[in-house]
Amino acid sequence: MQRVEKPWGHEIWWAITERYVGKILFVRAGHALSLQYHEQKSESMYCQSGRGRLELDGVEHQLAPGAAYDIAPGVQHLLTADEDLTMVEVSTPELHDVVRLSDRYGREGTSTP
- pLDDT of 106 over the 90 cut: no
What rounded mean pLDDT belongs to the chain? Answer: 95
In sequence order, the 6+-apart residues with CB closer than 8 A to the CB of 93 are 16, 17, 18, 19, 20, 21
pLDDT at 110: 61
Query: pLDDT tens digits, residue range 4-43?
Result: 999 999 999 999 999 999 999 999 999 999 999 999 999 9
Mean pLDDT over 69-90 rounds to 98
Is 0.75 surpassed by the pTM of this model?
Answer: yes
Q: What whole-number distance in Å separates Cα of residue 74 and Cα of residue 80?
A: 19
Q: What whole-number distance in Å separates Cα of residue 93 and Cα of residue 63?
A: 25
Q: Which fold has domain 2-110?
A: Jelly Rolls (2.60.120)
CB 27 within 8 A of CB 61: no
**Position 112 confidence tier, pLDDT thresholds 50, 70, 90:** very low
- pLDDT of 70 over the 50 cut: yes
Q: Which sign does the torsion angle of CA 64, 23, 68, 80 carry? A: positive
